[in-house]
Structure 1
Amino acid sequence: MVYRRRSTEQRYVKYRKMMKQQAAPGCNFCQFSPEDKQVRVAHEHFLVTDNLFPYEIWDSHEVADHIMVVPRRHVEGIYQLNKTERAELMDVIAEYEEQGYSVYARAPENKQKSVAHQHTHLIKTHGKPKNMLFTSVKPYILWSK
């Protein structure tokens, strides 16, 4: 399971509401530029970016780092990438997996997917697994020990 702390989740919900209200044309991931401060590495077909609303618990562990691999071209799923793009995506993922990052992506039709632009989460954990985790959706509560 993946979780955010309450403060991060509140910022995330507020951001999603703002994006819906703006109804700006296009996709906010298509707006990324290699010069943006949240972009860590620019590849030919992909950008590696910080996640502005990172998960803080992943597989019962604290998250040390949460980044995303985002295609420069708008696609909703990996199946829409061409062979060159797929090869580059695998190379980027392999580089981070070797550094201890887990890989996670949602299918295009997944209702939990917040942006209809394919993006792959890379999540690095640290520490021992949590012995106890309590969550509640309303009100949003995350308690771990």
Structure 2
Amino acid sequence: MSPQVVAERGTMIILKARFPYARWDGWRVGEHLLVVPIRHTSSFSDMTELESADMMGIIQSYEAAGYSFYIRSASNRSRTMAHVHGHLIKAKA
């Protein structure tokens, strides 16, 4: 496993962000992770039911630990990757 990989859960990989945000919603960021489907897909709506369920399970477990979740739409002009990925962001206390 790569040092960047935090965990693999079903159809998803959780990675440490290589270029983490310094601030989010006005708060300093304590941890910035990415949730990425193993299978390449460029749109959230193209994910399978299993991929969607796996991602939602990850979001729910990280939300309980104080993380926020963010995902850009496929048509968002500020999107930097043509591969679906979500951001899990935890503010510093």
TM-score (norm 2): 0.96
Aligned to 1:28: none
Aligned to 1:70: 36
- Map 1:1-145 onto structure 2 (within 5 A): 35-127=1-93
Deviation sequence 1:79-136 (CA, Å, 0-9, x none): 1111111111100110101100000000112111111000000000024xxxxxxxxx
Alpha-carbon distance in structure 2 between the residues aligned to 1:48 and 1:121: 10
Q: Which runs of 5+ in 1 are unaligned?
A: 1-34, 128-145
Alpha-carbon distance in structure 1 between the residues aligned to 2:83 and 2:36: 8
How big is the shift at 1:44? Answer: 1.8
Alpha-carbon distance in structure 2 between the residues aligned to 1:78 and 1:98: 23
Over the matched positions of the two proteins, sequence identity in percent amounts to 35
Structure 2 residue identity aligned to 1:70 = V
Q: Secondary structure at the match of 2:2?
A: coil
Structure 2 residue identity aligned to 1:67 = L
Q: Which runs of 5+ in 2 are unaligned?
A: none
Larger radius of gyration: 1
Q: How many residues align?
A: 93
How big is the shift at 1:78? Answer: 1.3
Whose helix fraction is larger, Structure 1's or Structure 2's?
1
Whose strand fraction is larger, Structure 1's or Structure 2's?
2
C-alpha RMSD of the superposition: 0.8
Q: Which runs of 4+ in 1 moved over 2 A?
A: none
